[in-house]
Amino acid sequence: MLKIHYSLDQKPADSIRDLEPPKVLNISVRNLVLKTKKGSVLAKGDLVAEHPSPCGGACHAALGGKVKAVNYHSLTVECSGGAETVEPVDVASMGKGSELIRALQELGVDVSPLSGRAEVLVINGLNPEPGVSVAQQLLRDGGEELRAGLDMARKLLSPDRTILAAPKGEAVSIPGAETVGIRAKYPYSLDALVVRAVTRKEFPEHTRVINVMDLFDLGKVALTGLPVTETFMTIDGHNYRVPVGTPVRHILEALELNVEPGDTIVLGGPFRGESIYSLDQGVKKEDYGMFITSSDAIPEVQDAACMNCGECVLQCPARVQPHLISRYAEYERFEEAERYGLNSCFECGLCAFNCFARRPLLQYIRFAKAQIRAKGQGTKA
Ligand code: SF4
Ligand code: SF4
């Protein structure tokens, strides 16, 4: 059988670039608890929405301006260009404990890997997907923030051992962490597989993992006391600092990128990313790349029937049966989908990428997980 290897060893082409600020932000507020309303005037860093989960980070305005519209999906801010910003929070001097965790969460940090005590802390330093180089860029250029982030994470978790998982052969380090080189091939950048590679155990207890992008954000919050309002994205081979909520249309215009009719724009990466539904869609904190694919290069996914070829089963690193799970998800038989391993799926996207029938397997899986979450009927976190 032909095995295709997907290299994650993408060296950054140059330094991180800044985008010209947009005139409008479209901030995704879907499934968040809105904390502002139409007509409100926001300073840079003002709270926009809270996360409903006990650990999710809050969402803030990346630029100041006036809220012009709010709907189920997004909140539109007409940017004023003003320099007014929120007051910093002195998180650096807080003792470890619930006050610090709460403050970090309010400043936009997802604190799920930072609560409690861990014996092993793993920093995932691999680029998340082929074609994306933000992790290697931040490992190379984000020294101060990464050190501050690691200090904060170690303060909260008191791990006995801290490991930086980096691409094999890369001479990178963060003071306080031992560097372990691992194969820079997709899907080995997925957290569960990184942990297995460095600890030699599957899902070991008392082990936490945080990726380099989140560690950088944590360090920046620790250093500045200001909320997370930007993301780093690989676009057309370069890495950009992008305000959260920047519309895709603005990125295309600012970088003079051409889109032909029929092209698909994906936010995230080629395996796990999601295609946009509108050029006005704003980027989210977790978007680490933007890709334009032509319909000639990759055939469209379709609701075709499964041919039972078994290719998705061979590709699946979670060792579940994607063809069965996705069929149950398609027909909203979620209990059966769970029984066949829905919750063990890492959402790597390899099954969908390799499906000969071009079935949207990952989308069905995400649909099932979202429906189960919404109904509060999941049997496993
Ligand atoms: S996305 Fe598909 S291939 Fe990847 S872990 Fe889930 S079921 Fe397996
Ligand atoms: S790769 Fe596609 S067609 Fe083949 S078994 Fe999996 S879902 Fe079915």
pLDDT digits (tens, 9 = 90+) for 212-244: 999 999 999 999 999 999 999 999 999 999 999
Domain final position from 206, 224, 242: 224
Which of 41-50, 74-83, 370-379 has maximum average pLDDT?
Answer: 41-50
Query: Residue whose CA is closest, atom 8 of ligand 2?
Result: 306
Average pLDDT, the chain: 92
Asked whether the predicted pLDDT for residue 379 surpasses 80, the reply is no
pLDDT tens for each residue of 109-153: 999 999 888 999 999 999 999 999 999 999 999 899 999 999 999
pLDDT band of residue 378 (cuts 50, 70, 90) is: very low
Residue 159 lies in a domain: yes
Measured between alpha carbons, how far apart are the two ends of the chain, in Å?
Answer: 35
| Cβ atoms 269, 132 nearer than 8 A | yes
Domain that holds residue 205: 98-224
Packing angle of the helix pair 143-157, 134-141 (nearest 10 deg)? 90
Asked whether the predicted pLDDT for residue 381 surpasses 50, the reply is no
Pocket lining: 360 vs ligand 1, CB cutoff 6 Å: no
Same domain for 117 and 219, yes or no, is yes
In percent, the amount of the chain with pLDDT more than 90 equals: 81
Q: Dmax of the chain from CA atoms?
A: 59
Q: Total domain count for the chain?
A: 2
Query: Residue whose CA is closest, atom 4 of ligand 2?
Result: 309
SS3 state at 378: coil
Please give the Cα distance from 230 to 245 (Å, whole number): 9
Please give the Cα distance from 150 to 156 (Å, whole number): 10
Residue 168 lies in a domain: yes
Residue 321 CB neighbours (<10 A)? 16
CA of 143 to the centre of ligand 1 (A): 34
Supply 226's token pair. Answer: 């200001």
Same domain for 208 and 319, yes or no, is no
Which H or E run includes 193? helix 191-199
Residue 273 lies in a domain: no
CATH number at residue 105: 3.40.50.11540
SS3 state at 208: strand
Domain final position from 192, 224, 256: 224
Please give the Cα distance from 22 to 240 (Å, whole number): 14
pLDDT tens for each residue of 63-76: 999 999 999 889 99
Same domain for 211 and 318, yes or no, is no
Residue 44 lies in a domain: no
SS3 state at 27: strand
Asked whether the predicted pLDDT for residue 263 surpasses 50, the reply is yes
Residue 144 lies in a domain: yes
Q: What is the mean pLDDT of residues 11-27?
A: 93
Pocket lining: 349 vs ligand 1, CB cutoff 6 Å: yes
CA of 364 to the centre of ligand 1 (A): 11
Please give the Cα distance from 173 to 41 (Å, whole number): 43
pLDDT tens for each residue of 293-327: 887 777 777 888 999 999 999 999 999 999 999 99
Residue 265 lies in a domain: no
- List, chain by chain if needed, residues with CB within 6 Å of any ligand 2 atom: 306-312, 322-323, 355-357, 359, 361
* Cα-based angle 279, 284, 287 (whole degrees, multiple of 5): 95
Asked whether the predicted pLDDT for residue 1 surpasses 60, the reply is no
Give pLDDT, residue 4: 55
Query: Residue whose CA is closest, atom 1 of ligand 2?
Result: 355
Give pLDDT, residue 96: 84
Asked whether the predicted pLDDT for residue 2 surpasses 80, the reply is no
Please give the Cα distance from 113 to 108 (Å, whole number): 14
- Cα atoms in the 13 Å half-sphere on the side-chain side of 78: 8
Report residue 325: phi and psi, to 5°.
-60, -45
Q: Which of 37-41, 202-206, 328-332, 348-352 has the lowest mean pLDDT?
A: 202-206
Residue 202 lies in a domain: yes
Domain final position from 224, 243, 267: 224
pLDDT band of residue 5 (cuts 50, 70, 90) is: low
Residue 11 lies in a domain: no
What pairing do the DSSP bridges indicate for beta strands 74-79 and 65-70? antiparallel
pLDDT tens for each residue of 271-295: 999 999 899 999 999 999 999 988 7
Beta strands in the chain (DSSP E): 6-7, 17-18, 24-28, 33-34, 41-42, 47-50, 59-60, 65-70, 74-79, 120-124, 161-167, 178-182, 185-186, 207-211, 230-235, 238-243, 264-267, 274-275, 289-293
Residue 280 gets which letter from DSSP? Answer: T
